[in-house]
Amino acid sequence: MEQRDNIIINITNMEEQLRHIQQASSVAIQSASSMEELEQVQKKYLGKGGELQSILKGLKDLSPEDKQTIGKYANEVREQVTHIYEKQKSTLHARAIEEQLVTDIIDITLPGRSQISGSAGSRSPFAVFSEECAAVFKKMGFGAWDGQHIVSDYQNFEALNFPENHPARAMQDTFYLEDKLLLRTHTSSLQNEILQTGAFPIRAIVPGKCFRNEATDARHEAIFMQLEGMVVDEGITVEHLIGTLETFLKEIFKRDIKTRIRPGYFPFVEPGLELETECLICGGAGGSCRLCKGLGWIEVMPCGMIHPSVLEMAGVDSKKYSGFAFGFGVSRLAQLKYNIEDCRLMFSAHPKYLEQF
C-alpha cells in the first residue's frame, strides 16, 4: 500500500508538474518579445534536458496504466505548447518584417544613382592632347620613341654637352638615385640613343614624363609631360625646324598662329632658340593679360640645331650630317589649348574636372 501511495503521489505530482509546465511555458512563450527570447523559453521547457524531459524520466517507475495516462498527458502538453510556440514564432517573424519595412525604406521609384556625379569620367585632357600631338608628327613622317624614366647621368647630361659641374645643370635639378642614375629631367635624354642608330634620315619624337625637383605651384609640377622631336640628315637647316614647328602649331590649334624666334640657351643646341607664339589667351594684344604679362608673346618651344659635339658623341659625322631638335611641355601646351589654369590638375582624377573634356 505504501508503495501504491507513493505512486499515487508521484502521479499527482507529475500531473501537477505537467500542468505547471503547460501554463508557465504558455505564458512565457506568448510574452516572448524576440526570437532569441522565444528560443530560450522553448529550450527551457521543451528542449533537450528541459523541464518536460526531466519529468518524463520518472515514467519508468510507473505502472503500465499510469505510464499510459501520464505519457498521454505529457504528449498533449507538448503538442499544445509546441502549437503556441509555432504561433508566437510566426507572429514575431511577421512583426520583424513589418519593422524592417518601416526602417529600411527603399523607394524603388527613385531613379538610379551613379557613383560619380552622373558620368563614368573621361580620359585626362593631357593624355588625349599628347596623342593628338603625336598623331600630327606621325603625319609628318616622325616615328615615336618610348624612353625610360630612370636614365644615367650620361644620357641626361653628359651626352648632351652638360659636363659635370656645368652651370646649366642647376636649371634641371632632379631626383638622384644610386649609381649615377636619376629621373630624367627632359626627353632630350633619348637623343644620344636615337642618334646612335645612324638610321638617316632620323625623324623621331619622344613623348613622355619628365621629372624635376620643383616647388609645385599652378605653373610648376615635379612631374610633367614633354615631347621631344629631332630630325637629322644631310642638309638640315633652321628653315626646316621653323617650318616643322609652325606646321605643327597650325595643325594642333586648327588656325594660323603667329610665331617669332628668339635666341635661347641649351648646351646641346647651337644656335639655341626659343620659338614664341602670339599669346594664346589675349591673341597678342598684351595689355593686362595674366598669361603673357602684357608682352603679347609666350615662349612655347625651346629648340635649336643639334650641337656638333652632341652628334660626334653619338658617333655621327657632324661634317656630313646636321639636325634640329625641339622639346616642349605637352602639359603647358594643353593648358593653353584648354585654358586649364592649374597644371596640378594634370594628375587629378576628379570627375568634376575630367568630365569637362
Q: Which residues bind ligand PHE (CB under 6 A)?
A: 186, 188, 228, 266, 269, 302-304, 325-327
- Rounded to a whole number of angstroms, the minimum distance from the CB of residue 109 to ligand PHE is 58
- Rounded to a whole number of angstroms, the minimum distance from the CB of residue 290 to ligand PHE is 23
| Whole-angstrom distance, CA of residue 243 vs CA of residue 258 | 12
- Rounded to a whole number of angstroms, the minimum distance from the CB of residue 235 to ligand PHE is 19
Count of Cβ atoms closer than 10 Å to residue 167 Cβ? 8
Which CB atom, from 41 or from 245, has the smaller least distance to ligand PHE?
245
Which CB atom, from 125 or from 304, has the smaller least distance to ligand PHE?
304
In 3D space, the residue among 288, 286, 276, 280 whose CA is nearest the CA of residue 326 turns out to be 276
C-alpha cell at 262: 628668339
Spatial neighbors of 189 by CB under 8 A, at least 6 apart, are: 147, 151, 155, 156, 160
The answer to whether the beta carbons of residues 22 and 77 sit under 8 Å apart is yes
In total, the chain counts a number of residues equal to: 357
| Whole-angstrom distance, CA of residue 153 vs CA of residue 150 | 10
Rg (CA), the chain: 44
Which CB atom, from 22 or from 185, has the smaller least distance to ligand PHE?
185
Q: C-alpha 316: how far from its chain's center? A: 45
| Whole-angstrom distance, CA of residue 90 vs CA of residue 94 | 6
User: Where would I find the beta strands (DSSP E) of 154-201?
Assistant: 181-183
- Rounded to a whole number of angstroms, the minimum distance from the CB of residue 248 to ligand PHE is 14
- Rounded to a whole number of angstroms, the minimum distance from the CB of residue 352 to ligand PHE is 32
Count of Cβ atoms closer than 10 Å to residue 189 Cβ? 26
Which CB atom, from 17 or from 187, has the smaller least distance to ligand PHE?
187
Which CB atom, from 51 or from 233, has the smaller least distance to ligand PHE?
233
| Whole-angstrom distance, CA of residue 273 vs CA of residue 57 | 108
| Whole-angstrom distance, CA of residue 154 vs CA of residue 305 | 20
- Rounded to a whole number of angstroms, the minimum distance from the CB of residue 105 to ligand PHE is 60
Which CB atom, from 77 or from 269, has the smaller least distance to ligand PHE?
269
- Rounded to a whole number of angstroms, the minimum distance from the CB of residue 144 to ligand PHE is 16
Closest residue to ligand PHE: CB criterion: 327
C-alpha cell at 155: 644620357
- Rounded to a whole number of angstroms, the minimum distance from the CB of residue 195 to ligand PHE is 13
The answer to whether the beta carbons of residues 123 and 351 sit under 8 Å apart is no
Which CB atom, from 62 or from 238, has the smaller least distance to ligand PHE?
238
Which CB atom, from 195 or from 303, has the smaller least distance to ligand PHE?
303
| Whole-angstrom distance, CA of residue 14 vs CA of residue 60 | 13
